Amino acid sequence: MAKDTTRRSFIKAGFAAGAGLAAGQASAAGDPLITETQDWNQQLGFGVDERPYGIPSEFQKHVKRRSVPWLTADPISSINFTPLHELDGIITPNGLCFERHHGGAAEYDPASHRLMINGLVDEELVFTMEDIMRFPRENHVYFLECAANTGMEWRGAQLNGCQFTHGMIHNVMYTGIPLRLILKEAGVKADGKWLLAEGADASGMTRSIPMEKALDDCLVAFKMNGEALRPEQGYPLRLVVPGWEGNMWIKWLRRLEVGDQPWHHREETSKYTDLLEDGNARRFTWVMDAKSVITNPSPQAPITHGPGPTVLTGVAWSGHGTIPQVDVTIDGGKNWHKARISGPSLDKSMHRFYYEFDWDGSELLLQSRAHDSTGYVQPTKDELRAIRGTNSIYHNNGIQTWYVNKEGVAENVEIS
């Protein structure tokens, strides 16, 4: 395969193969990949240290974050999307975790990083990264979902690909310090009910967080999936706010201020508030409700093998807890089937589900529906729009539909 082969031509090639001789099928003399000696059977591969920091196979170049250029004015204050249709299991590889910056991704020496605690505390403190590394650590797997994930789909089906409709999410294992241990060092005063977290980057991102959440399960993290945070994820230090909208997970975390009231800064007033039909807006809509999406088949990952045994898979998550059940329909919601969940079922983490079926080659309308541990069942987009109107945009956790035609090509649609 030529090096510049794109995903699209790869898909086309797949169809061509499907129409003629299926890949791996033997001719009379047998498959030449078996009957003839191949280069890699004979010649030596690359040695150790040739790729001292390992990289994916060159045949995986189509697996990458992608952006939607018309969404934002500038790539410095912008967003891209995790290629969910290329992944499996529950962990997102660090290099594929979607990026959202407001002033570019700051990159600086961790020796120059400081974390300050000020405000309503017994003692205002400054920590170096060396200090941070002396606190007791914890490991937790959490999803991080942007409040705007699936926002472009609010008014109707718009983007063809689960990367674009649902890719503002990632799920990694964090190593970090419970935030309450760091706050304890400074001593929160009795009227300290709110926390302002602030980033060190050029956007100086700030969010107000209620003290109840800060003392509950928030982490100050320095590792993701075992290695240092990537620069685009806030290296050397970020806040982890499990189950709550991604914007609150302040990257390049440099300051925590304790106060008696919220600050009502830009990202919690002008942005990330939900404008409803009557012109009033919900604020402090922090928790990300239960949601799921079928990642395969999907518009970027059509069925190329024709009728027969077919694997349907996807991911589900909830900011309220775990996902004990995911239902799947292939007929647009007339009948639902319990999907099989495989892999760990962790609090506020992605869950992986599968539904294997024998495709008869007819048209499909695919949907998934998550149930979370509170008993909440993922609603349809129409049910949400009936409550919120058409201007809400953020926090869209409605059911996604993919239409699959007889050729196996999938499209983003809405159904009655």
Residues 161-180 that bind other proteins (CB under 8 A): 161, 164, 180
Contacting range for other proteins; rule: CB under 8 A; set: 18-26, 167-175, 254-262, 352-360? 254-262
- The least distance separating other proteins from the CB of residue 24, rounded to whole angstroms, comes to 25
Continuous segment of H or E residues that includes residue 314 = strand 308-317
338 vs 44: CA distance, rounded Å: 48
Cβ proximity to other proteins, 125 vs 173, nearer residue: 125
Q: Give burial (CB, 10 Å; 0-12/13-18/19+) of 133.
A: exposed
- The least distance separating other proteins from the CB of residue 331, rounded to whole angstroms, comes to 7
Q: Give burial (CB, 10 Å; 0-12/13-18/19+) of 250.
A: buried
Figure out which of the listed residues 286, 317, 353, 394 binds other proteins, where binding follows CB under 8 A.
Answer: 286
206 vs 233: CA distance, rounded Å: 16
> What DSSP letter does each residue of 68-125 carry, written as one string?
-GGGSS-SSSEEEE--GGG--SSPPPGGGS--EESS------GGG-EEEEEESBSS-E
Figure out which of the listed residues 85, 102, 113, 166 binds other proteins, where binding follows CB under 8 A.
Answer: 102
Token look-up 């012109």 returns 279
- The least distance separating other proteins from the CB of residue 296, rounded to whole angstroms, comes to 17
- The least distance separating other proteins from the CB of residue 143, rounded to whole angstroms, comes to 18
- The least distance separating other proteins from the CB of residue 355, rounded to whole angstroms, comes to 14
Cβ proximity to other proteins, 90 vs 249, nearer residue: 249
Token look-up 């898979």 returns 313
Please answer whether residues 144 and 319 qualify as being in contact, where contact means their C-beta atoms are separated by less than 8 angstroms.
no
Token look-up 């001593």 returns 187
The yes or no reply on residue 281 touching other proteins (CB under 8 A) is yes
The yes or no reply on residue 139 touching other proteins (CB under 8 A) is no
345 vs 416: CA distance, rounded Å: 32
Instruction: Scan residues 22-41 and list those touching other proteins (CB under 8 A).
Output: none
Contacting range for other proteins; rule: CB under 8 A; set: 16-24, 88-96, 277-285, 354-362? 277-285
Figure out which of the listed residues 277, 311, 340, 361 binds other proteins, where binding follows CB under 8 A.
Answer: 277
Cis upstream peptide for 32 (omega within 30°): no
The yes or no reply on residue 63 touching other proteins (CB under 8 A) is no
- Reported residue count of the chain is 416
Figure out which of the listed residues 65, 137, 265, 305 binds other proteins, where binding follows CB under 8 A.
Answer: 265
Figure out which of the listed residues 18, 187, 306, 324 binds other proteins, where binding follows CB under 8 A.
Answer: 187
122 vs 146: CA distance, rounded Å: 34
Figure out which of the listed residues 261, 309, 358, 360 binds other proteins, where binding follows CB under 8 A.
Answer: 261
Figure out which of the listed residues 22, 308, 387, 405 binds other proteins, where binding follows CB under 8 A.
Answer: 387
318 vs 363: CA distance, rounded Å: 30
- The least distance separating other proteins from the CB of residue 409, rounded to whole angstroms, comes to 10
Long-range Cβ contact pairs of 327-331 (< 8 A, separation 24 or more): 327/368, 327/369, 327/371, 328/294, 328/353, 328/355, 328/366, 328/367, 328/368, 328/369, 329/365, 329/366, 329/367, 329/369, 330/357, 330/364, 330/365, 330/366, 331/364, 331/365
Contacting range for other proteins; rule: CB under 8 A; set: 72-80, 91-99, 166-174, 351-359? 72-80
Contact code string over 340-379 relative to other proteins, x by CB under 8 A: -------------------------x---x-x--xxxxxx
Number of residues that bind other proteins (CB under 8 A): 113
267 vs 69: CA distance, rounded Å: 22
User: Strand pairing of 194-199 and 169-178?
Assistant: unpaired
The yes or no reply on residue 76 touching other proteins (CB under 8 A) is yes
The yes or no reply on residue 333 touching other proteins (CB under 8 A) is yes
Figure out which of the listed residues 11, 13, 125, 129 binds other proteins, where binding follows CB under 8 A.
Answer: 125
The yes or no reply on residue 414 touching other proteins (CB under 8 A) is yes
The yes or no reply on residue 16 touching other proteins (CB under 8 A) is no
Cβ proximity to other proteins, 91 vs 267, nearer residue: 267
> What DSSP letter does each residue of 328-374 carry, written as one string?
EESBSSSS-EEPEE-S---TTS-EEEEEEEEE-SS-EEEEEEEE-TT
- The least distance separating other proteins from the CB of residue 175, rounded to whole angstroms, comes to 17
Please answer whether residues 335 and 353 qualify as being in contact, where contact means their C-beta atoms are separated by less than 8 angstroms.
no
Contacting range for other proteins; rule: CB under 8 A; set: 32-40, 244-252, 263-271, 304-312? 263-271
Contacting range for other proteins; rule: CB under 8 A; set: 17-25, 48-56, 344-352, 407-415? 407-415
Cβ proximity to other proteins, 141 vs 195, nearer residue: 195
- Please, which residues have CB within 8 angstroms of residue 41's CB and are 6 or more apart in sequence? none
